[in-house]
Chain A
Amino acid sequence: MDWGAIFGNAAVELISPTTAAYALAALGLAVHFGYTGLLNFGQAGFMALGAYGYAISILTFGFPVWGAFLVGVGASIVFALILGVPTLRLRADYLAIVTIAAAEIVRLLFTTNTFASVTGSANGLSGYKNEFAALNPLAPGRYGFGPFENNAYDTWLRIVAWSIVILAALLVWQIMRSPWGRVIKGIREDEDAVRALGKNVYAYKMQSLILGGVFGTIAGMIFALPRAVVPSNYQTTLTFFIYAILLLGGAATVLGPIIGSMIFWVLLSFFSGFVARAVEAGWLPFMTTVQGGQLRFILVGVAIMLIVIFRPQGIFGNKKELAFVR
């Protein structure tokens, strides 16, 4: 049993760019669901727009990194507007289903053969990393220590990714302490009360949708940079995992999405590492390694159920402020 490798691989997840991407997407969802009470189940769609927006801008249109970034963010805002118009007047349950539908439409548009020349259809896109790598101020070499050692590109990616996460966290923290945040929290609990006090509820919900959506889109870009953009990554299950992270950490908190993402990935990695080696070592004769991988996700599902029943405020949340348990 190579415990060193198991723990090492798990520890690495603490700062991996995937963890950062999920943390950022969860932060966006915190704005939507935790603070505003919008049941947005289409966060995967926002992430897909970010990943594809960035990749297509670089590959097909030859934009520089900043241009590609802005294209992604722009697409996100447009998507939020299109999504918001029909959905923000709907009840929570309807909103959930329509947002899933919208995200699936986005994914299917990226998967279809019709646009294959631009989107790569089911195969996706790759080969867009060079422009980002070119911005790297670090000299080639290895940085870090122990299991946290990485080459220059990976280190640069981590620095950028986590800087964005921290900036986003500060932004959310500040804005939720302001009068704007107060209106949002009021809307979460009772829209009509807020409306009766002279606030344009629809506009606030739209702003929240756009803000959280932009976070999701940037998360999608960060997610795509260490790997290829493949449409099958952006299915509804992705949104469900982000909800799992959000609920674990605390839906209406700033630290929750970040710590939740770290815990999620560390545990997932630890578990799969452990089970894989246990099966190899013959400790679990009734299981194959493949099944070990599936067991992880069974446990994620069970964990979601347990968290929402027994500790819906998550790790950092405040039970007195929880709106969705009414």
Chain B
Amino acid sequence: MSASAIPHDSSAPLEPPVPTQKPIKTTGLHIGDAVPGCRKVDPILVVDNVRRTFGGLTAVDVEHVEVPRGAITALIGPNGAGKTTLFNLLTGFDKPDAGKWTFEGRSLSGVPAYKVARMGQIRTFQLTKALGLLTVMDNMLLGAKEQVGENLFRALLPFLWRNQEADNRVKALDLLTRFKLDAKKDDYAASLSGGQRKLLEMARALMSDPTLVMLDEPMAGVNPALTQSLLDHILNLKSQGMTVLFVEHDMHMVRHIADWVIVMAEGKVVAEGDPHEVMKDPAVIDAYLGQHHDEDIGEDSESETEHVSAVKELLDDER
């Protein structure tokens, strides 16, 4: 079931989704020049010499990168650049061949995924993992942390966890209302639309009050009516003091809400900086378009030629 569809005229380019308020960009995040691997004033995540190869293919080879605290950072790059692999490595879902990284100053190398999540780093997945066989409310309750009732023996004595469960329920309902999913709280998550499931996944991620929220392609597969709402929610995360790192292909969205952009290609970080500056970086243009580097990307409709939009569509289709 999808929300009301915006009539889509296939011959005209789509209106880029904009957040309802003009985002206040955070600046002054970096120290020195905006080069790949530059240091940040207040980094929350520091990555050093992380390498991951599959067979003979080097998927990730990042010398140094720092993610600034309290800001929205976008991780962009063409398909196969290693963005999701890097995500998997940082969140403990994959083991690197070498390297180390720290979160809030604590080393994360070798830490299993569930412990990383408990430390305050919550991630979402490219293919949404809203649990369809559970209700929306159950999904949310699952996201809460330090639940007494999740212990096998204490679970048998409801009086030990009843109150905490009730508190979690209140918090969940509050979040669901904010994400406009409260009416569906007792429905099975499988009955939600794709975009609603993305929202659920994000809402669920917030149940544990994370410090760093890592979103893997939050816009993928979401219909245009919901992207606006998603953008607003991501901006809200920042206003509540959380740090956001997200992977995206949608340049318009990146330009609108990202404070900082990290560009990856072929496993390496090729550029970093303010969204507008980064788009003009020749290294970035090369990474995306190869020999068509005289075309600009992410600019508004009047300079878009047909084959650039075709390439953009291809980039989107390849997911």
Residues of A close to B129: CB separation below 8 A: 190, 192-193, 196
Contact B91 A196 (CB under 8 A): yes
B117 touches A (CB below 8 Å)? yes
Q: Do A182 and B161 contact each other (CB < 8 Å), given the known contacts A189-B133, A193-B131, A198-B118? A: no
Residues of A close to B134: CB separation below 8 A: 182, 185-186, 189
Contact B142 A192 (CB under 8 A): no
Residue of A nearest to B88 (CB): A192
| A307 CB → nearest B CB, Å | 20
A198 to B114, CA, bound (A): 4
Q: Which of A68-76, A172-180, A256-264 contacts B (4 or more CB under 8 A)?
A: A172-180
A207 to B145, CA, bound (A): 19
Q: Do A186 and B190 contact each other (CB < 8 Å), given the known contacts A178-B161, A179-B147? A: no
Residues of B close to A195: CB separation below 8 A: 93, 112-114, 117
CB-contact partner of A182 in B115, B142, B188, under 8 A: B142
B243 touches A (CB below 8 Å)? no
Contact B125 A180 (CB under 8 A): no
| B46 CB → nearest A CB, Å | 22
| A320 CB → nearest B CB, Å | 5
CB-contact partner of A323 in B133, B141, B156, under 8 A: B133
Give the A-B pair count, Cβ closer than 8 A: 99
| A234 CB → nearest B CB, Å | 28
Contact B150 A183 (CB under 8 A): yes
What size tier do the contact residues of chain A reach? Answer: 20 to 34
Q: Please report which residues of chain B, range 195-239, place their CB below 8 angstroms from some CB of chain A when the two chains form the complex.
A: 204, 208
A185 to B133, CA, bound (A): 8
Contact A179 B155 (CB under 8 A): yes
Residues of A close to B155: CB separation below 8 A: 174-175, 178-181
For the A-B complex with A179-B155, A196-B114 known, give 14 more contacts whose Cβ atoms are closer than 8 Å.
A179-B141, A179-B149, A186-B134, A189-B133, A193-B125, A193-B129, A193-B130, A196-B117, A197-B122, A198-B122, A201-B114, A320-B190, A321-B188, A323-B133
Show 29 residue pairs from A and B whose CB-CB distance is below 8 angstroms, ordered by the A residue: A178-B149, A178-B155, A179-B147, A179-B149, A179-B155, A179-B165, A180-B151, A181-B155, A182-B134, A186-B142, A188-B133, A189-B132, A190-B131, A192-B129, A193-B130, A193-B131, A196-B93, A196-B113, A196-B114, A196-B122, A196-B125, A198-B118, A198-B145, A198-B208, A200-B114, A201-B114, A320-B133, A320-B188, A322-B133
